[in-house]
Amino acid sequence: MGSGKTTVGRRLASMLGKTFCDTDNEVEAKTGVNIAYIFDVEGEEGFRTRESAVLFEKAQLDNIIISTGGGIIELKTNREVLKNGYVIYLKTSLETQKERATPNENRPLLLNTNAEKQLTELMIKRKPLYEESADRVIITDGLTSKAVAKQIFEAINE
C-alpha cells in the first residue's frame, strides 16, 4: 500500500504503448460498488475471490501492464499466475507507506484500526512473498513515479 503501483503502472503502460489494468479498479467496475462495500458485504475473502478472477482474466491478454492490490500476492494461485509475466516489486519503506497510504474507502484494511500497526503486520506477512515472486525489485522511497517507471522501463529493455 502506498508504493505507487497504480500511478507507476499507468506511466509505464504509456511509455511501452501497452494497455493498463488496475485490479482494484476493475473489480469496482465489474461490481458497480467500491472495495469498502465489497469488504463490508463479502469480507476480505469475497474481495480476494473477485480480485483473483480479474487477475486470471487480464493475465491472458498480451501487451498489458497489471497493477495489483497488495494482498493479491497472498494466494499461491495468484503467485503462479503472476510468474507467467514479468513481476516488479515496488519496495517501499514503512515510513513512506505511512505518509502515502491514508486510511480511506479504497484501503479498507486500514479503516477502523491502527494504520501503522496494520501496515507493519501486512509488510511482515507479504514482504517474503513479494521478494519470492519478483523478477525485479525497485526501491521507491524518495523517487517520483516518473523515475520509478523509467527504472522499470530500463530494466525491461536490458
Domain ranges of the chain: 5-156
CA-wise closest residue to 127 among 84, 83, 152, 91: 91
Q: What's the pLDDT at 115?
A: 65
Q: What's the pLDDT at 105?
A: 56
pLDDT exceeds 60 at position 111: no
Q: What's the pLDDT at 4?
A: 81
Domain 5-156 belongs in CATH node 3.30.70.20: no
The residues near 82 (Cβ < 8 Å, ≥ 6 apart) are: 55, 59, 68, 72, 73, 133
pLDDT exceeds 80 at position 106: no
pLDDT exceeds 60 at position 110: no
Indicate the helix (H) or strand (E) that contains 60: none
The residues near 22 (Cβ < 8 Å, ≥ 6 apart) are: 5, 6, 9, 66, 67
pLDDT exceeds 80 at position 30: yes
pTM for the structure as a whole: 0.85
The Cα–Cα gap between 118 and 61 comes to 34
* Average pLDDT of the residues of the chain: 88
pLDDT exceeds 90 at position 132: yes
